[in-house]
Structure 1
Amino acid sequence: MSNPTRYRKPAVVPDDLRLLTGPTAGVVHLPVHLDWSGRASYDLDRPGRIVDLYRAVINEAASPADLHTYLDAATLKRLWSSIWLPTDTRRAWEGRFPELTELSQIASA
Protein backbone atom coordinates (compact mmCIF):
# COMPACT_ATOMS: atom_id res chain seq x y z
CA MET A 1 0.00 0.00 0.00
CA SER A 2 1.41 3.40 -0.93
CA ASN A 3 1.74 6.30 1.45
CA PRO A 4 0.06 9.45 0.03
CA THR A 5 2.44 11.75 1.92
CA ARG A 6 5.54 9.88 0.82
CA TYR A 7 6.28 12.27 -2.03
CA ARG A 8 4.98 15.47 -0.45
CA LYS A 9 7.44 18.35 -0.34
CA PRO A 10 8.33 19.29 3.24
CA ALA A 11 6.94 22.59 4.48
CA VAL A 12 9.35 25.52 4.48
CA VAL A 13 9.00 27.58 7.65
CA PRO A 14 10.95 30.72 8.60
CA ASP A 15 13.09 30.75 11.73
CA ASP A 16 11.44 33.96 12.93
CA LEU A 17 8.23 35.70 11.84
CA ARG A 18 10.00 39.05 12.14
CA LEU A 19 11.99 38.08 9.04
CA LEU A 20 8.80 38.25 6.97
CA THR A 21 9.06 41.75 5.55
CA GLY A 22 7.40 41.40 2.15
CA PRO A 23 5.14 43.92 0.46
CA THR A 24 1.78 44.88 1.93
CA ALA A 25 0.26 46.87 -0.95
CA GLY A 26 0.36 47.10 -4.71
CA VAL A 27 0.72 44.34 -7.27
CA VAL A 28 3.14 41.47 -6.67
CA HIS A 29 4.33 39.17 -9.45
CA LEU A 30 5.40 35.75 -8.20
CA PRO A 31 8.11 33.80 -10.00
CA VAL A 32 7.14 30.58 -11.78
CA HIS A 33 8.51 28.32 -9.02
CA LEU A 34 5.91 29.82 -6.65
CA ASP A 35 2.98 30.11 -9.05
CA TRP A 36 2.77 28.40 -12.41
CA SER A 37 -0.99 29.02 -12.76
CA GLY A 38 -0.69 31.80 -15.31
CA ARG A 39 -2.26 34.21 -12.81
CA ALA A 40 0.93 35.02 -10.91
CA SER A 41 0.08 38.71 -10.42
CA TYR A 42 -1.55 39.53 -7.12
CA ASP A 43 -3.15 42.85 -6.21
CA LEU A 44 -2.55 43.04 -2.47
CA ASP A 45 -5.29 45.65 -2.16
CA ARG A 46 -7.88 42.98 -3.05
CA PRO A 47 -8.62 40.74 -0.02
CA GLY A 48 -9.16 37.55 -2.02
CA ARG A 49 -5.95 37.93 -4.00
CA ILE A 50 -3.75 38.57 -0.96
CA VAL A 51 -5.04 35.34 0.64
CA ASP A 52 -4.30 33.53 -2.64
CA LEU A 53 -0.74 34.92 -2.68
CA TYR A 54 -0.08 33.86 0.92
CA ARG A 55 -1.42 30.37 0.24
CA ALA A 56 0.72 30.00 -2.90
CA VAL A 57 3.90 31.24 -1.24
CA ILE A 58 3.48 29.14 1.92
CA ASN A 59 2.68 26.00 -0.06
CA GLU A 60 5.31 26.39 -2.77
CA ALA A 61 8.26 28.11 -1.05
CA ALA A 62 11.55 26.49 -1.95
CA SER A 63 13.46 28.26 0.82
CA PRO A 64 12.91 30.68 3.69
CA ALA A 65 14.06 33.46 1.32
CA ASP A 66 10.80 33.03 -0.63
CA LEU A 67 8.85 33.56 2.58
CA HIS A 68 10.93 36.59 3.62
CA THR A 69 10.49 38.20 0.19
CA TYR A 70 6.75 37.79 -0.29
CA LEU A 71 5.14 37.52 3.16
CA ASP A 72 4.66 40.16 5.84
CA ALA A 73 4.45 39.04 9.48
CA ALA A 74 1.56 41.31 10.54
CA THR A 75 -0.43 40.46 7.42
CA LEU A 76 0.24 36.76 7.88
CA LYS A 77 -1.12 36.90 11.43
CA ARG A 78 -4.20 38.83 10.27
CA LEU A 79 -4.93 36.31 7.50
CA TRP A 80 -3.71 33.10 9.16
CA SER A 81 -7.08 31.60 10.11
CA SER A 82 -8.52 32.24 6.62
CA ILE A 83 -5.67 30.71 4.60
CA TRP A 84 -6.41 27.15 3.45
CA LEU A 85 -3.30 25.04 3.97
CA PRO A 86 -2.61 21.32 3.97
CA THR A 87 -2.74 19.93 7.50
CA ASP A 88 0.99 19.08 7.57
CA THR A 89 1.93 22.59 6.48
CA ARG A 90 -0.33 24.26 9.04
CA ARG A 91 1.08 21.98 11.77
CA ALA A 92 4.66 22.82 10.78
CA TRP A 93 4.00 26.56 11.01
CA GLU A 94 1.93 26.36 14.19
CA GLY A 95 4.49 24.02 15.76
CA ARG A 96 7.17 26.66 15.29
CA PHE A 97 4.94 29.66 16.09
CA PRO A 98 2.42 29.01 18.90
CA GLU A 99 0.89 32.46 18.35
CA LEU A 100 -0.48 31.16 15.02
CA THR A 101 -2.13 28.25 16.83
CA GLU A 102 -3.79 30.76 19.15
CA LEU A 103 -5.08 32.74 16.15
CA SER A 104 -6.56 29.56 14.65
CA GLN A 105 -8.23 28.67 17.94
CA ILE A 106 -9.71 32.17 18.34
CA ALA A 107 -11.11 32.07 14.80
CA SER A 108 -12.75 28.67 15.32
CA ALA A 109 -14.29 29.60 18.69
Structure 2
Amino acid sequence: MDSAPSVLEVRRDRFARRLPGALAELAGPAHGTVSLPLHLAWSGLTRFDLDQPRLRMSCYRTVLAEGRHDDLARYLNRDLLIGMWPVLRGLVSRDIREVWEGAFTELAPAVRAAV
Protein backbone atom coordinates (compact mmCIF):
# COMPACT_ATOMS: atom_id res chain seq x y z
CA MET A 1 0.00 0.00 0.00
CA ASP A 2 1.38 3.41 -0.99
CA SER A 3 1.52 6.04 1.68
CA ALA A 4 0.29 9.55 1.07
CA PRO A 5 2.98 12.10 0.20
CA SER A 6 4.24 14.24 3.06
CA VAL A 7 3.44 17.92 3.32
CA LEU A 8 7.06 18.65 2.41
CA GLU A 9 6.81 16.52 -0.75
CA VAL A 10 3.58 18.24 -1.77
CA ARG A 11 5.08 21.70 -1.24
CA ARG A 12 8.27 20.86 -3.14
CA ASP A 13 6.28 19.39 -6.01
CA ARG A 14 4.13 22.53 -6.15
CA PHE A 15 7.20 24.78 -6.34
CA ALA A 16 8.93 22.51 -8.87
CA ARG A 17 5.93 22.60 -11.25
CA ARG A 18 6.11 26.40 -11.31
CA LEU A 19 9.79 26.61 -12.27
CA PRO A 20 10.87 28.08 -15.60
CA GLY A 21 12.71 25.76 -17.97
CA ALA A 22 15.82 27.92 -17.63
CA LEU A 23 16.81 31.02 -15.69
CA ALA A 24 17.06 32.83 -19.03
CA GLU A 25 13.23 32.84 -19.06
CA LEU A 26 13.25 35.25 -16.12
CA ALA A 27 12.88 38.48 -18.09
CA GLY A 28 11.39 40.75 -15.44
CA PRO A 29 12.51 44.33 -14.86
CA ALA A 30 15.87 45.12 -13.31
CA HIS A 31 14.98 48.68 -12.23
CA GLY A 32 11.99 50.83 -11.43
CA THR A 33 8.76 50.14 -9.61
CA VAL A 34 6.89 46.86 -9.86
CA SER A 35 3.24 46.52 -8.89
CA LEU A 36 2.36 42.95 -8.01
CA PRO A 37 -1.20 41.68 -8.50
CA LEU A 38 -3.24 40.67 -5.48
CA HIS A 39 -2.85 36.93 -6.13
CA LEU A 40 0.86 37.46 -5.35
CA ALA A 41 0.90 40.29 -2.83
CA TRP A 42 -2.29 39.52 -0.94
CA SER A 43 -0.94 40.81 2.37
CA GLY A 44 1.13 43.95 2.80
CA LEU A 45 2.97 45.83 0.08
CA THR A 46 1.96 45.56 -3.55
CA ARG A 47 4.41 48.10 -5.03
CA PHE A 48 8.17 47.57 -4.86
CA ASP A 49 11.00 49.88 -5.95
CA LEU A 50 13.59 47.49 -7.36
CA ASP A 51 16.29 50.13 -6.97
CA GLN A 52 15.96 49.84 -3.17
CA PRO A 53 17.67 46.60 -2.03
CA ARG A 54 15.28 45.81 0.83
CA LEU A 55 12.18 46.32 -1.31
CA ARG A 56 13.73 44.31 -4.16
CA MET A 57 14.45 41.45 -1.74
CA SER A 58 10.89 41.60 -0.40
CA CYS A 59 9.45 41.55 -3.92
CA TYR A 60 11.52 38.51 -4.89
CA ARG A 61 10.60 36.65 -1.71
CA THR A 62 6.93 37.27 -2.44
CA VAL A 63 7.14 36.18 -6.08
CA LEU A 64 9.16 33.05 -5.26
CA ALA A 65 6.69 32.01 -2.57
CA GLU A 66 3.41 32.91 -4.28
CA GLY A 67 4.16 33.15 -7.99
CA ARG A 68 2.85 30.91 -10.73
CA HIS A 69 5.07 29.92 -13.65
CA ASP A 70 4.10 33.00 -15.69
CA ASP A 71 4.58 35.30 -12.68
CA LEU A 72 8.14 34.09 -12.20
CA ALA A 73 9.05 34.95 -15.80
CA ARG A 74 7.25 38.28 -15.67
CA TYR A 75 8.48 39.67 -12.35
CA LEU A 76 11.88 38.03 -11.75
CA ASN A 77 15.05 39.04 -13.55
CA ARG A 78 17.71 36.37 -14.11
CA ASP A 79 20.72 38.57 -13.30
CA LEU A 80 19.10 40.10 -10.21
CA LEU A 81 18.07 36.68 -8.92
CA ILE A 82 21.57 35.24 -9.32
CA GLY A 83 23.14 38.31 -7.70
CA MET A 84 20.71 38.31 -4.78
CA TRP A 85 20.60 34.54 -4.27
CA PRO A 86 23.36 34.27 -1.62
CA VAL A 87 21.22 36.43 0.72
CA LEU A 88 17.77 35.59 -0.67
CA ARG A 89 18.31 31.84 -0.19
CA GLY A 90 18.35 32.43 3.57
CA LEU A 91 15.10 34.39 3.45
CA VAL A 92 12.94 31.85 1.60
CA SER A 93 11.68 28.53 2.90
CA ARG A 94 13.94 25.52 2.72
CA ASP A 95 11.72 23.81 0.14
CA ILE A 96 11.84 26.84 -2.20
CA ARG A 97 15.62 27.06 -1.76
CA GLU A 98 16.20 23.35 -2.40
CA VAL A 99 13.88 23.21 -5.43
CA TRP A 100 15.51 26.23 -7.09
CA GLU A 101 19.10 25.16 -6.28
CA GLY A 102 18.37 21.62 -7.43
CA ALA A 103 16.98 22.85 -10.75
CA PHE A 104 19.52 25.57 -11.54
CA THR A 105 23.21 24.96 -11.07
CA GLU A 106 23.84 28.73 -11.25
CA LEU A 107 22.20 29.00 -7.82
CA ALA A 108 23.87 26.03 -6.15
CA PRO A 109 26.21 27.16 -3.35
CA ALA A 110 29.19 25.10 -4.58
CA VAL A 111 28.97 26.64 -8.06
CA ARG A 112 28.79 30.19 -6.68
CA ALA A 113 31.79 29.59 -4.43
CA ALA A 114 33.87 28.45 -7.41
CA VAL A 115 33.09 31.56 -9.48
State the 1:37 CA deviation: 1.8
Q: Which moved more, 1:38-47 or 1:69-78?
A: 38-47
Alignment of 1:1-109 (within 5 A): 5=8, 8=11, 10-11=14-15, 12-62=18-68, 64-83=69-88, 84-102=91-109, 106=113
For the residue of structure 2 that corresponds to 1:28, the secondary structure is: strand
* CA distance in 2: counterparts of 1:7 and 1:96, whole angstroms: 17
Structure 2 alignment gaps of length 5 or more: 1-5
Question: CA offsets, 1:44-101, max 9 Å, x none?
Answer: 1100000101110011012x11000000000000001111111111111111101201
Task: Compute the RMSD of aligned alpha carbons.
Answer: 2.0
* CA distance in 2: counterparts of 1:104 and 1:31, whole angstroms: 34
Q: TM-score, normalised by structure 1?
A: 0.84
- Please state which structure has a larger fraction of its residues in helix: 2
Q: Which has the larger radius of gyration?
A: 2
Runs of 4+ deviating beyond 6 Å: none
Q: TM-score, normalised by structure 2?
A: 0.80
